[in-house]
Amino acid sequence: MTDPKAVDYRRLFDAAPTPYLILAADLTIVEVNEAYLSATSTQRHTLLDQSIFTAFPDNPDDQNADGVRNLRRSLETVLATAEPDTMALQRYDIPIGPDGHFEERYWSPINTPILDDDARITHIIHRVQDVTAFVHLRSSGHDRQQAERALARAEAMEADLVARAREVQDVNRQLRHANEELAATSQALREQQEAKDRFIATLSHELRNPLAAIQAAVELLALDILPDHPALAVLQRQTAALIRMTDDLLSATRVLTGRLDLVRQLLDLREVVQTAAADVAAEFAASHRALRVSLPGDAVPLDGDRIRLAQLLGNLLSNAGKYTQPGATVTIDLSRAGAAAVLVVRDDGIGFAPAAAETLFEVFTRAVPSGTTPISGLGLGLAIVRNIAELHGGSVTAHSDGPGTGAEFRVRLPLSTAAYPGDQPPPPAERPARRPLRVLVIEDNTDLAATYRAVMHRHGDTVTVATTGHAGLAEATAQPFDLVLCDIGLPDIDGYQIARRLRDHPATRDTKLVAVSGFSQDSDRQQALHAGFDAHLAKPMTLTDLESLLNSWSINNS
């Protein structure tokens, strides 16, 4: 059944009382309406696909005929300017009847371009008014008053056409101006985004380089002094706090700019919880806080980003550590509820006013009851938690019965419909005894390079240090190495070039290459792998990070 509100544009075009002819950009006729056929005494099939000048040539018997020349000039003006052109009243005879004799005709034409989305002309509308009768009335001496009235109507019609043409021209000019402004604004936004990306990358590099040296120095001190030395505990805690704040700052910047990406894979959320709990276990124990973990017996399959989910839980645990006192208990409870995984982190700390629950997830926000000692941190961790949850299609809520009653953070994430192999969380893998390695460190931060060498020497490794890219290439090809740790931002050539050259050299084609860099965005990791690195570790790299990586490679025990 035909929709009564639907518009039949073919019928509408043919029913229009004004004669219209549609030209392609090459000035061939592609369509014509009934009014035009009637005005020119032609048939549609004789006009379509013909040049307008072939279909309507000049009258060969009129030595002064200039209709084709004037029409061509108008159409070429439209093609050159992409703006309408109104032609003056003019004579343009047309062939009539089977013998093709030319009949004197006068027309008032206007040619209007049709533009596509890229402002290119696709068609031209050739609209005409046959004013022959008006011209004849004016030139004749009969009924001069009637002729004057007819001429007045003709002039009014022409004035109306000119006014409308100017309106269309003005609108087109305004549209082009608006498009130019939009293009300029878009370019400025792109440049600002690129500048912001460069700033984030530089900030990451500049913050992480000194932190990496401090972290490595703390690890070296831990090998030389008693583990219960109070200065060592202070250094470990404050270094961890600086690293966490740096991670939060850079992650929050990506959150605010919509640049926080996910690398999804099928995973068991129980493994993520176990790993995150193990990472903070020593810190919780040192601060005399208990950590309880409850996991279901069945797998909790998710299509998610393992690193981001670990960051989500790590931020919740860090938050719990900040807002509880020594002797407190923090619990992690993972369960399944229908098609969702539910991850709950509870603490018995200072709590917050129930009305403040939603504001906790805003950037730079902390709900600390009055009279409470100020809490360190940037107020970014929970904003990052919410963004990671939402990127996974989930949500996070906060609840507290009030100050002094503790807090609960509940994360809901959609379960994967894919079956996860196995129904028990895998036991922690036993780390094989690591054999000593021949290691080349390419790092221009001399403090960091020296500390890496000292720490790895304590583990039995033979370490060579190069502080420039060219020196590193020379060392790598002069003697065999099991492992190359290479910075990206070197003073002469960057780490990507080094990786490509080492992969092209027969002696180093199979050497394990690890990028250790302050450039730590997801795009930096992808670029490192594309250049030929086997892995990318963000500064500050801990020996735990490195050992975990080596444990996954046969280099560790071959």
DSSP 16-67: -SS-EEEEETTSBEEEE-HHHHHHHT--HHHHTTSBHHHHS---TT-TT--H
Q: What is the mean pLDDT of the chain?
A: 81
Q: How far apart are CA 18 and CA 35, in angstroms?
A: 6
The 483-486 sheet, strands edge to edge: 462-466, 438-442, 483-486, 512-517, 535-538
For residue 62 the two structure tokens come to 């009129």
Tell me the torsion sign for CA atoms 67, 69, 73, 78.
positive
Q: What is the pLDDT of residues 525-553, one digit of tens each?
A: 889 999 999 999 888 777 777 877 887 77
pTM for the complete prediction?
0.45
Burial of 136 (0-12, 13-18, 19+ CB in 10 A): middle
Q: What is the pLDDT of residue 62?
A: 86
Residue 417 structure tokens: 């419909």
Contact 297, 424 (CB under 8 A): yes
- Over the stretch 295-341, which tens digit does the pLDDT of each residue have? 999 999 999 988 789 889 988 998 898 889 999 999 999 999 999 99
Beta bridge partners of 361: none
Beta-bridge partners for 369: none
Q: Give me the mean pLDDT over the 112-131 stretch.
A: 91
Query: Three-state DSSP class for 326?
Result: coil
The terminus-to-terminus CA distance of the chain in angstroms comes to: 77
How do residues 27-68 score in pLDDT, each as one tens digit?
Answer: 999 999 999 999 998 999 989 999 999 999 999 888 888 889
Residue 296: the pLDDT is 93
The pLDDT value recorded for residue 139 is: 62
Mean predicted confidence (pLDDT) in 9-21: 89
- Characterize the bridge pairing of strands 20-24 and 29-32: antiparallel
- What's the confidence (pLDDT) of residue 190? 74
How confident is the model over 230-281, as pLDDT tens digits?
Answer: 666 666 666 665 666 666 566 655 655 555 667 788 999 999 999 888 878 8
More confident residue, 375 or 325: 325
Contact 218, 232 (CB under 8 A): yes
pLDDT score for 370: 47
Which SS3 state, helix, strand or coil, does residue 259 take? coil
CA–CA separation, 171 and 212 (whole Å) = 60
Say what the pLDDT of residue 226 is.
67
Residue 131: the pLDDT is: 82
161 in Cβ contact with 109 (< 8 Å): no
